[in-house]
Structures are given as C-alpha cells and as structure tokens.
Chain A
Amino acid sequence: MTPPAGPSLQTAPIVVQHPGSWANATTHYCPGCGHGLIHRLVANALDELGVRERTVGVAGVGCAILIYNYLDVDFQEVPHGRAPAAATGIKRARPDLVVFTYQGDGDLAAIGTAEIVHAAARSENITVIYVNNCVYGMTGGQMAPTTLPGQRSETSPEGRDPATQGHPIRVAEMLATLDGAVYLERVSVTHPENIKVAYRAVRKAFTYQLEGKGFSLVEFLSPCPTNWGMKPIDAMRWIDETVSAYYPLGVIKDREPVHLAHLVQQPPTAFREDYMHGFRYETVTQATEDELGRHTRRTHPFGRRGGRWVSVDGEEYRPSDHDDSEDED
C-alpha cells in the first residue's frame, strides 16, 4: 500500500521553521533539558521584535554557556556570575543595543548575587533570562542556592537540610524589594500552556527594554532530568507538583521604578497596594499616629516621610518582635 501523495518537500508551504535568530546547531544538552526550549523562546522573541541585528547576549557560566552556538546573535562570554555587570557595560556604552543575560541559578543566585542585585538596583535597562533548575548542572549535580529543602544532590546526599545548608533563595521575590526592578515574572516550560505564558513573559521583558523601562528578569523553572535522576516526563511533573509550589509562578512585580522625588512629593498611594511577603508599606503621618494613639517607629527608607510595614490584617511589623520570637524558638 502506497502512502497518499502529499505536496513535495520543495513546494510545500512553510508552516513552521526555525526563527532567524536560531543558529541551527546540533544540541549538546541532555535529553529532557529545558535550555533548548528556553533558547528557542528567546530567539522567537528577538525575531518577533525585529532586533536580532542589534542584540548582544551575555552568556553566564553553566550548561548554557554555549548558548552562543545556538543563537545567531553577537555574544560575550564572561566570568561566572558577572553577566549583569558585563551587560551593564555593554548597555551603558551602547544604549542602542538590545542586551540580555542568560544565567543559571548557580551563576545568578550564588556567585553572582552582588552583580544581579546591583544591576536591578540601578535599574539597568537590560533583560535577564534566569534559568532555575534547582541544581548545579554542568559540574555534576551539586546543591545550588535554589535546591529545595530535602532535595538530594551530590553535595546534599541526605537531602538539603536548611538547618545546616541554608534555605533556598527566591530570586524574583528578593529582587522585587528593589525599587529599580521593574518587571519580574516566574514561568515554567512544563506544558504548552506554560510555554505560551513563558513566551509572553520573555517578549514583554524585551519590549520593556525597548521602551526604556529598566530592569526586567524572567525566572524559568526548568527541568534537569540528568541531575535530578528522573525521566524527563517525571521531571516536568516534579516541577508542576513540587518546585512551583516552592517557587510560585506568575508576575512577581510589574511596575515603573519608584522614585524618591515622587514619594516625597505625593503620598505613595499606589505603592501602598504593593504587598510583599504579606506586608505592605504604608506612610506614617501624624494622623496615623493620632489614630494609633502612640508614636510609631518612623523608619525613613524613602526620605523625610516615615513609613511602616503592615501585614494584611493591619498588624505592624516590628523587627524587635520578630527577633524575640526567633530567640524563643
């Protein structure tokens, strides 16, 4: 039985093809790795925004250091963790260029914490693609700053014990406390719906850069079946069921930078709506103090006008209370 005659490969209309920003190299990534997908999303976004010709990527150290083999754009490859600093140099020297870093969790959240925090604090107009797979991949599966409590790795063979090995870092939430961080979203690539959301996030992050809005970061929860010791499908399932429970997906922050002058001149009504870890920041006025019937702690993080952190149910956050309870434990 002969197969039905279809259009020939030469004449068939092209339904789908590699993006122009794609270099079409043979992959070196393990089966089930998330990097290939994420590279592709970046390439698609650069294509769609038409910026391939003026893009410079900065490759962090890790499995994805070889991203410059897969994307057909100019690249700089820099020391471990320093990509945000190099990207700062590129963008400041050539503001007309579109600059992004591509960093793993060891690169960004361990050795490169100072660089990412200060790039965000300066609101560098760059895009950071941050790939969090909860493990050091390239060096063979050691514990990363993002390794979950209880997760086994080469250097936490009994499972990560927060008592001795510390707690994981939620990078997007940590950066959200910085006024300079404009857009922070956490996404995953576990199934087509999530990939669509992830693509929109990447595109938005680059769009913000083109609009000159400032620092944006997209955190990907990405599978590492090899170092997790799982089948690729189980790795995806583990992200959906466990990893994204610890690192919740969604927009962590999406707002213009808060400027001091604005806060000093007008009450920061918009800022009051921002909840961080269940607390919101509220301006303390004489009226507030009259209402409370006592003098509040006037911390002054935003200039002369003092403020305080208040929980959702109106309880004031007091560092000393917090410390006391820790001590009792």
Chain B
Amino acid sequence: MKAVGTKAVEMMTEVTGEPRVPLGERVLMKGNEALAEAALKAGCRAYFGYPITPASEITSYMARWMQVEGGTFVQAESEVAAINMVFGAAGTGTRAMTASSSPGISLMSEGVSFLAAAEVPCLIVNVMRVGPGLGGIQPSQSDYFQATRGLGHGDFRVIVLVPANLQEMVDLTFEAFSLAEKYRTPVLMLADGVLGQMMEPVTFTRVIDPASMPEPEWATTGASGRPKRVVKSLYLDTGELEEHNVALQQKYRRIEQAEVRWNTYDLDGARILLVAYGTSARVAHHAMELAEERDMPVGLFRPITVYPYPYDALREVVEERGIEHILVVELSAGQMVEDVRLAVEGRCPVSFFGRSGGTIPAPLEVLDAIRNVAEGLPTARAASKKGGAS
C-alpha cells in the first residue's frame, strides 16, 4: 500500500506522471488530505480557506492541487471572508467549500446563516478542536450544540455529517455535495482533530467531472436570455418572509424524513446501549468489545447524521431490543446526550461519560463507565450477553 501525503503525492505525480491518487487503489492518507482529495474528485472547483490547526492541511492540499484541477483557490484574510467567498462562488453554481476548526467556524456563523437563508449549497468542514475560546488544538467534540443548533442566527438547520473513519469521511464528502445541491443547503462535515490528523487506508472509487453537471436554475451567471436571478435573504414584506421561512422548514422536514443515517453494532442481546459518534464512537466500539469479552451485554448505536438526528431509529432500538440503560460517550461535557434523551423520551435511563479539554478517554475508562452502569442493572452480575434480553 502506498502512503500518500502532500509531499509524497507531489513527488509521485511529478516523477511518474501518474494520476495523483489513482482510483480503486488502497492508499494510506492523512484525514485532512483524504478529505481534500475527495472534494476534488467530487468536482469541487472553488476552495477558500484560512489556516487553523488542526484543519490546515485541507487548505494546503487545495492550494497545491485546486489550480491543477482547473479550479480556484484563495487564501482568505479571515474565515469571515472565506465563507463569503464560498457564498459568491457557490452562488454561480460552482461546487465550493471551505474548511476550518472550531474558532474559525464561529467566525463563519454569520455567513452560514446567509447561505442557509439564500439556499446556496456548499460544504463546510469543521475539524473540531477543544474550546471554549482559543482553547487548544487537541481533538474535541464540543461544537455539537453549535453544529446542530447554533450555527447562526435565525430559524435554520444545516445537514451535519459525522464520519468515524477516513473511508467514511471520503464517501461522505461525495455525499455532502449531492445533499447540498439536492436540498440547496450548506452541509457541515463535523470531523475532529483525530480524524483530521490520523492516517488510514482509503480507496477512491469515482470522479465527478464538474462540466457534466447542469447549471442550477437559480445560479447567478448573467441574465442572458432569461429573467434576472437574485440570490438573497432579505424579505422586507412580513408575509413574504413568513412564506420563505415556512418553505425552509418544509425543506428541513423533508431532510428529516429522507436523510437520517446511523449504524448499529452488536445489538443482539444488548441491555446496555452505547451511543457515540465520530472519534468517540471508535473508543466506544473498542470499549464495547472489551465489555463483551467480560460478558457484559453491550451494543453500540452510532449516528452518521446528527442533523437530522436518528431519533426514531434510536427509540426503536431501545424499544425493540429492550435496552435497559444508555451510556452516551462524547469528547465533551455532554452535548449529544441531550438529543439521546429527546429520542428515548424517558424509556430508559441515560448516563453520560465524556472527557473534555482535549483528552481522549482510553477504552478502559469507558469500560469502567459501562461497568458502573452494568452494576446498576437489576440482574447485573448474572447478566450475560446471550441471556440478557428476553
């Protein structure tokens, strides 16, 4: 297997003249660079970014390769400018994106609200780091509230994708552009410092030629042979504004119906259900295996979209599998746990285990938390995986 990094890619391409990252071949890449490569292969032809750890490699990769692909790259003066450059470029129907990390995403909030209101599709990547404030550069999942609730002022949502490994991140990058255009909405890829910085094998299976995509019927490309188009968010007439808001909400209901994604692991016989996403789901998965080795009845539920959140799916798992206790694992002080409580509506107790401040819990720590929960179960000590749920 080849290891593919910016320098390695550069040398390989220049020396051999072969494609930068060939299709169908398993290559070892850094998360940020794999994501950038996926975006290029998905037909993204406009990238605007501002450097920030731990997301900088995305911007560097784009600086090196975007123009080679015939697209445009600008290092913006701020995240505020970057998101508005995305607005401009995406407003012409070009696949456009930006990437940043937590403090930078806060700066983009204004622009995201305008993008959502004007229904301009784009991809925004948040390689989360720990906050609040400048915080630090270690991985974190403490922007969950921001991503799913507070990404800007006004009544709006953006689709939020939460990959747990690099192959999934690559696949979701393709998906993100399709979803953005299908629903004319910004899509947020919510990764974290671990996913951005780690290396894993990935395989790219397709390339989308932007020239093959039709011009959207709302894009501002010059009013030639058609009435003028205005990409805007201002509606001074209250009636018109309410209609606009209702239409946006109807769109969000359609997204909630059709685009919920999740995955489950080892639900058979599970009495305790771990719920985790992204990097914490990797830790939780390992902890689950350790628990199973110790005959504890544990399963894992992993959301892949956190807006729309898999409320119904989680509730069904709890009901159908007779889950007795949920343990939510996050790299935060407890954010997604609120959505889990909304999902189960009191059907079973919900506990939380998390580390914040940039610390990633060891699987054994999570195992301890599972053990605490297991001890509280009615027949905890006797409970084994197979005989648990009846």
A residues whose Cβ falls under 8 Å from a Cβ of B: 23, 52-56, 58-59, 65, 68, 72-79, 82, 85-94, 97-98, 114-115, 117-118, 122
**B174, CB-defined interface residue at 8 Å:** no
Q: Is the CB of A75 within 8 A of B81?
A: no
**B233, CB-defined interface residue at 8 Å:** yes
Which chain A residues lie closer than 8 Å to B29 at the CB level? none
Which chain A residues lie closer than 8 Å to B225 at the CB level? 53
B residues whose Cβ falls under 8 Å from a Cβ of A: 45-46, 48, 72, 74, 76-78, 80-82, 84-92, 94, 96, 110-111, 114, 118, 220-225, 228-234
Give the residue of A65, A89, A93 whose beta carbon is less than 8 angstroms from that of B84. Answer: A89
Q: Is the CB of A89 within 8 A of B48?
A: yes
Q: List 19 contacting pairs A-B, 8 Å CB cutoff, sorted by A.
A: A52-B223, A53-B222, A53-B223, A55-B223, A56-B220, A56-B222, A65-B234, A78-B87, A79-B84, A85-B80, A89-B74, A89-B85, A89-B90, A90-B88, A91-B88, A93-B89, A115-B80, A118-B76, A122-B74
Nearest-neighbour CB distance to chain B for A112, whole angstroms, equals 10
Q: Is the CB of A77 within 8 A of B76?
A: no
Task: State the CA gap A55–B224 with chains docked (Å).
Answer: 9
Which chain A residues lie closer than 8 Å to B80 at the CB level? 82, 85, 114-115
Which chain B residues lie closer than 8 Å to A73 at the CB level? 222-223, 228
Name the residue of chain B whose CB is nearest to the CB of A88: B85
Q: Is the CB of A89 within 8 A of B89?
A: yes
Which chain B residues lie closer than 8 Å to A53 at the CB level? 222-225
Name the residue of chain B whose CB is nearest to the CB of A98: B222
Q: Is the CB of A97 within 8 A of B91?
A: no
Q: Is the CB of B91 within 8 A of A79?
A: no
Which chain B residues lie closer than 8 Å to A76 at the CB level? 87-88, 91, 118, 220, 230-232
Give the residue of A79, A85, A90, A117 whose beta carbon is less than 8 angstroms from that of B92. Answer: A90
Task: State the CA gap A123–B119 with chains docked (Å).
Answer: 29
Q: Is the CB of B231 within 8 A of A88?
A: no
Q: Is the CB of A77 within 8 A of B233?
A: yes
Q: Is the CB of A118 within 8 A of B230?
A: no
Q: A85-B85, A87-B88 are in contact. Are A92 and B46 (CB under 8 A)?
A: yes
Task: State the CA gap A52–B223 with chains docked (Å).
Answer: 7
Q: Is the CB of A86 within 8 A of B224?
A: no
Q: Is the CB of B224 within 8 A of A58?
A: no
Give the residue of B77, B92, B114, B234 whose beta carbon is less than 8 angstroms from that of A93. Answer: B92
Nearest-neighbour CB distance to chain A for B368, whole angstroms, equals 48
Q: Is the CB of A89 within 8 A of B222?
A: no
Name the residue of chain A whose CB is nearest to the CB of B86: A89
Task: State the CA gap A44–B82 with chains docked (Å).
Answer: 32
Nearest-neighbour CB distance to chain A for B65, whole angstroms, equals 16
Which chain A residues lie closer than 8 Å to B48 at the CB level? 89
Which chain B residues lie closer than 8 Å to A56 at the CB level? 91-92, 220-222
Name the residue of chain A whose CB is nearest to the CB of B72: A92
Which chain A residues lie closer than 8 Å to B76 at the CB level? 85, 118
Task: State the CA gap A121–B228 with chains docked (Å).
Answer: 31
Which chain B residues lie closer than 8 Å to A98 at the CB level? 222
Give the residue of A65, A74, A117 whose beta carbon is less than 8 angstroms from that of B228. Answer: A74
Give the residue of B87, B114, B221, B231 whose beta carbon is less than 8 angstroms from that of A94. Answer: B221
Q: Is the CB of A79 within 8 A of B230?
A: no
Q: Is the CB of A93 within 8 A of B87?
A: no
Q: A88-B74, A93-B46 are in contact. Are A74 and B81 (CB under 8 A)?
A: no
Q: Is the CB of A72 within 8 A of B228?
A: yes
Task: State the CA gap A73–B78 with chains docked (Å).
Answer: 29
Q: Is the CB of B230 within 8 A of A86?
A: no
Task: State the CA gap A74–B94 with chains docked (Å).
Answer: 16
Q: Is the CB of B46 within 8 A of A77?
A: no
Which chain B residues lie closer than 8 Å to A91 at the CB level? 88
Give the residue of A74, A89, A115 whose beta carbon is less than 8 angstroms from that of B229. Answer: A74
Give the residue of A68, A77, A90, A115 whose beta carbon is less than 8 angstroms from that of B81. Answer: A115
Which residue, of A23, A72, A74, A75, has the highest number of chain B Cβ atoms within 10 A?
A: A74
Which chain A residues lie closer than 8 Å to B110 at the CB level? 79
Q: Is the CB of A74 within 8 A of B220?
A: yes
Name the residue of chain B whose CB is nearest to the CB of A89: B88
Give the residue of A74, A79, A90, A122 whose beta carbon is less than 8 angstroms from that of B111. Answer: A79
Q: Is the CB of A97 within 8 A of B81?
A: no
Which chain A residues lie closer than 8 Å to B88 at the CB level? 58, 76, 78, 85-91, 93
Q: Is the CB of B72 within 8 A of A55?
A: no
Q: A86-B84, A86-B85 are in contact. Are A97 and B114 (CB under 8 A)?
A: no
Name the residue of chain A whose CB is nearest to the CB of B111: A79
Task: State the CA gap A56–B228 with chains docked (Å).
Answer: 10
Q: Is the CB of B72 within 8 A of A82?
A: no
Task: State the CA gap A218–B81 with chains docked (Å).
Answer: 22
Name the residue of chain A whose CB is nearest to the CB of B95: A93
Which chain B residues lie closer than 8 Å to A78 at the CB level? 84, 87-88, 114
Nearest-neighbour CB distance to chain B for A122, whole angstroms, equals 7
Nearest-neighbour CB distance to chain A for B232, whole angstroms, equals 4
Q: Is the CB of A94 within 8 A of B92?
A: yes
Which chain A residues lie closer than 8 Å to B77 at the CB level? 114-115, 117-118
Q: Is the CB of A89 within 8 A of B223?
A: no
Nearest-neighbour CB distance to chain A for B111, whole angstroms, equals 6
Give the residue of A86, A88, A94, A117 whose beta carbon is less than 8 angstroms from that of B94. Answer: A94
Which chain A residues lie closer than 8 Å to B231 at the CB level? 75-77
Q: Is the CB of A75 within 8 A of B220?
A: yes
Task: State the CA gap A53–B118 with chains docked (Å).
Answer: 22
